[in-house]
Structure 1
Amino acid sequence: MPLRVGYVREHFSSPLLQFADADGGKTFILVECPSGTGQLISRLTNDEIDVAVALTDPLISGIANGSEHYKLVGSYVTTPLNWAVITGKDTKYNEIADLQGTTIGISRYGSGSQTMAYVMALQQGWPTDKLQFRVNNDIRGLLDSVNDGTTSAFMWEWFTTKPFVDAGEARFIGSVPTPWPSWLIAAHPTRASAEALRTFLTTLTTYVRAFDALDARAGPDVAFIQERFGYPKGDVEAWLKTVAWTQDCTTIPKKVVADTLEVLEKASFITAPEGGFDVAHFVNSGIATLV
């Protein structure tokens, strides 16, 4: 039975997509989750996928808030994700400070678009217990919401939303990079065999290393992303300068988990138990190695 691997169809997924093309569904199948990490977590919970390549902060906050439907099993992207702050084409909002006290659009509760709103509020000195949200499911719903006035703004990855801004559908009014490496890999604790997960992660490592190599970045990576996603060459080249992948998908740095927990706790998105969090609790030690 092939692993069911949930992912978001974005340029970050390029090495995974190349692996899937070569595998041809023999050992795993991809399950697209266009609404992002909130949808990935929901599908892990509902037995619709076995593995998720997803954003660091929602994965960690989900476990911190008591989810037992998955554990971290690997690393993926080691650089921050640059979250754009996007408003409608004709709104009154011109900078992040203008958003205090307004309703922020998110894809789902527990998604990166929500956790990063807490980080933005923390940076701005806003009371995080006063944040207001409206769920709009996906990028189309979020764009419609900022233009019909039901929300003031939303947060999404910069280059993913840039085509909509270039087309005049929305405006950038700022950005908030994550204070942590942006992508990890999680899996249900019992649904897939340890052997299948280790094989998947070990083989994914070879595709990630190949994609991350300097000679690939100089040409083949650009061509692949242009062909698969239709982004302008200049945007792809600019993005590649900002991103790096792990050299071993089977390892997870303790510091990544600890630092993410610290920021999310400061932002009041999670509450630590008495005695604090145990980093080892977040990781399936039978699959991944904490380093």
Structure 2
Amino acid sequence: MKTIKIGGVPEHFNLAWYLTLKNGEYKEEGINLRWKDYFGGTGAMNKALREEEIDIAVILTEGIIKDIIDGNPSKIVQTFVQSPLIWGIHVANDSKYNTIDQLRGTKAAISRYGSGSHLMAYINAENNEWNLDEDMNFQVIKNLDGAVEGLTNGDADYFMWEKFTTKPIVDDGVFRRIGNCPTPWPCFVIAVREAFLDTNLEDVKTILNIINNTTQEFKQIPSIDKTIANRYDQKLEDVQEWLSLTEWSQSLIDETSINTIQDKLLNLDIIPKKVDYDQLVRQIN
């Protein structure tokens, strides 16, 4: 049986992977798929792909595009979640800040440089017409636990993370959410190391077929809202809202979306140049 290593964030978006693993669907096809949670998010997964710690990543679209342009030898093979990611903009519950504009020039907590929390801080800044050279300051906090500690201790002033993942922390009175910032593109893609893809193409196709069969019918799974609420410590009404907003995909991200993301990243000086569509993606089906 062939062992294949995959990574993703330990969030409700990836429950379909857990369900297919629990059901033994990959083992039935001769694949020992080993999932690893990356609490550090996109930056940690980019590092893991580069160091061959994992073969496949379920990763933020803008984060993997930036890292491939920066030399990560991987390719996007499919969109995983078609809908935008809604980033909540959070401050400590006792923070003096109450509006997004008051955060101009303060310090953003980020999991690491090149992560989604880092890139989206720039998107938020541009949306609010901040000066990207003067108004952006960062404190690396590694993960969500680090953000709780960093904002509570005053090491950083605000933190951007997926709205529904952080909702329990808001409900507990640790964070306050003072705004939202949706990504203007599909939020999660599946990326594979090029060297692995070259030698294991059929296995990658098999894995995608299995996960796609589940995501196509994910919302119809009996009591899936209750399962998510229990597993991720979320309120049922929050899960139901999230399910209504989330659309999975079984297709490769299109060239228009890739260009839109690159235009935005280039405009923000996050990438040094745009590259051709086929330098970022590989059509395998």
Aligned position for 2:99: 95
1:252 and 1:220 map into 2 onto residues whose CA distance is: 30
Q: Which of 125, 128, 148 is the aligned partner of 2:129?
A: 125
Aligned position for 1:29: 34
Contact in 2 for aligned 1:189/1:284 (Cα 8 Å) = no
CA shift digits 1:111-150 (9 cap, x unpaired): 1000100100111111223321111001011111111111
Aligned position for 2:248: 245
1:31 and 1:25 map into 2 onto residues whose CA distance is: 15
Aligned position for 1:17: 18
Aligned position for 1:165: 170
1:111 and 1:22 map into 2 onto residues whose CA distance is: 32
Q: Which of 112, 115, 118 is the aligned partner of 1:114?
A: 118
CA shift digits 1:147-199 (9 cap, x unpaired): 11111101000011110111011111111000111100101101251111111
2:212 and 2:8 map into 1 onto residues whose CA distance is: 16
Q: Secondary structure at the match of 2:194?
A: coil
Aligned position for 1:279: 277
Q: Secondary structure at the match of 1:2?
A: strand
Contact in 2 for aligned 1:84/1:155 (Cα 8 Å) = yes
**Displacement of 1:24 after TM fit?**
6.6
Aligned position for 1:211: 218
Q: Secondary structure at the match of 1:255?
A: helix
Contact in 2 for aligned 1:106/1:114 (Cα 8 Å) = yes
2:39 and 2:17 map into 1 onto residues whose CA distance is: 16
Contact in 1 for aligned 2:20/2:26 (Cα 8 Å) = no
Aligned position for 1:232: 235
2:281 and 2:26 map into 1 onto residues whose CA distance is: 27
**Displacement of 1:224 after TM fit?**
2.2
Contact in 2 for aligned 1:106/1:137 (Cα 8 Å) = yes
- Pairing 1:194–2:162 present: no
Letter of the structure 2 residue corresponding to residue 115 of structure 1: L
Aligned position for 2:55: 50
**Displacement of 1:228 after TM fit?**
2.1
**Displacement of 1:68 after TM fit?**
3.1
Letter of the structure 2 residue corresponding to residue 266 of structure 1: N
Contact in 2 for aligned 1:226/1:236 (Cα 8 Å) = yes
Q: Secondary structure at the match of 1:119?
A: helix
1:227 and 1:140 map into 2 onto residues whose CA distance is: 20
Root-mean-square deviation (CA, aligned residues, Å) is: 1.5
**Displacement of 1:25 after TM fit?**
6.4
Letter of the structure 2 residue corresponding to residue 277 of structure 1: V
TM-score calculated relative to the size of structure 2: 0.93
Contact in 1 for aligned 2:6/2:57 (Cα 8 Å) = yes
Q: Secondary structure at the match of 1:252?
A: coil
Letter of the structure 2 residue corresponding to residue 141 of structure 1: G
Q: Which of 44, 66, 69 is the aligned partner of 1:39?
A: 44
- Pairing 1:86–2:87 present: no
Aligned position for 1:154: 159
Letter of the structure 1 residue corresponding to residue 213 of structure 2: T
Letter of the structure 2 residue corresponding to residue 262 of structure 1: D
Letter of the structure 2 residue corresponding to residue 23 of structure 1: G
CA shift digits 1:202-245 (9 cap, x unpaired): 22110110104xx33xx432122123222121111111111110
Q: Which of 152, 177, 181 is the aligned partner of 2:186?
A: 181
Contact in 2 for aligned 1:57/1:260 (Cα 8 Å) = yes
Report which stretch shifted further, 255-264 or 82-91: 255-264
1:201 and 1:224 map into 2 onto residues whose CA distance is: 23
1:139 and 1:223 map into 2 onto residues whose CA distance is: 24
* Structure 2 segments unaligned to the other structure (5+ residues): none
Letter of the structure 2 residue corresponding to residue 70 of structure 1: S
Q: After TM superposition, where is structure 1 displaced by more than 2 Å over at least 4 residues in a row?
A: 23-26
* Structure 1 segments unaligned to the other structure (5+ residues): none
Letter of the structure 2 residue corresponding to residue 244 of structure 1: E
**Displacement of 1:63 after TM fit?**
1.5
Report which stretch shifted further, 201-210 or 126-135: 126-135
